[in-house]
A = this chain, B = another copy of it.
Amino acid sequence: MSWKDNLEAVRQWIRLGQYSGHTAGLAPGHAQANLVMLPKDQALDFLIFCTRNPKACPILDVLEAGRWEPNVAPGADLRTDLPKYRVFHNGALLDEVKDVGKYWRDDLVSFLLGCSFTFESRLIAAGFSMRHIEQDTVIPVYETNIACKPAGPFFGPLVVSMRPIPATRVVEAVQITARLPRAHGAPIHVGAPAAIGIRDVNKPDWGKPVEIKDDEVPVFWACGVTSQAVAWASRPPFMITHAPGHMFITDLLDTDLTEL
């Protein structure tokens, strides 16, 4: 067993700054999370935004202003326990850092939002292949023409990730992921990319294109990048997020997120 399989070891290596790579495949079985940190005077509206857009921003944990120890990972520290962070000023990237360090403020409210890694592991367990993993590439992600429901100053487009699914198993993929509302839940669209404003499925806005075979259809799920797209659109004065792919690993098991 490698240190990569052990949650405590992974968290320790990340905290010490010894590991700053992406977290896909680390501590398998544990739910990973997107991180957003905002000052308290913006946090209420952002939390309202999350409740209005639960597929894009499913709430796993929200910490009161000034707290850094998550309820979903007692003993952990959100200021140090992610491999890479991004710091934004007025929506523009200011810095990329291995710990929050000098940017921490006592009025920061931390949000942990569910991540698609959880439902991917469930799809894989059911025998679906994840093309971006097979091709060892970064999952294709697209801005859509669907607007998130705004809240206070927060607005922006819904961002989706795409996985090719055999046409004969689409219903099954919908049912499996629908049971994981805290990991983006059911897809938001099946088939025709143009119907949600995606001009060319081979030209993702983030990540790399993947092959869609003749017997497959593209299936689109709400994506955690939405919260970053909303930040770019809404330009909050100060915000910290995880760097894409460099998530927080919670104590929750993927199975804890199943509903019904």
Residues of A in contact with B (beta carbons under 8 Å apart)? 40, 43-45, 47-48, 51-52, 59, 62-65, 71, 109, 149, 151-152, 178-179, 181, 259-260
Contact = CB atoms under 8 A, between A and B. Distances in A.
7 nearest A-B residue pairs (beta carbon): A44-B44, A48-B62, A64-B152, A51-B59, A47-B47, A43-B44, A51-B62
Contact of A45 (B48, B64, B178): B64
Nearest to A42: B44
A44, A59, A259: residue with the most chain B Cβ atoms closer than 10 Å: A44
Contacts of A65: 44
Contact of A260 (B63, B151, B179): B179
Contacts of A149: 71
A40 B44 contact: yes
Given A152-B64, A178-B260, A181-B259, A109 B51 contact: no
A221 B179 CA distance: 22
Contacts of A59: 51
A152 B67 CA distance: 10
Contact of A151 (B64, B151, B181, B259): B64
Contacts of A62: 47-48, 51
Contacts of A43: 44
Contact of A44 (B109, B259, B260): B109
Contacts of A152: 64
Contacts of A260: 178-179, 259-260
A259 B181 CA distance: 10
B47 A64 contact: no
Contacts of A44: 40, 43-44, 47, 64-65, 109
A40, A62, A179: residue with the most chain B Cβ atoms closer than 10 Å: A62
A40, A47, A65, A152: residue with the most chain B Cβ atoms closer than 10 Å: A47
A52 B64 contact: no
Contacts of A45: 64
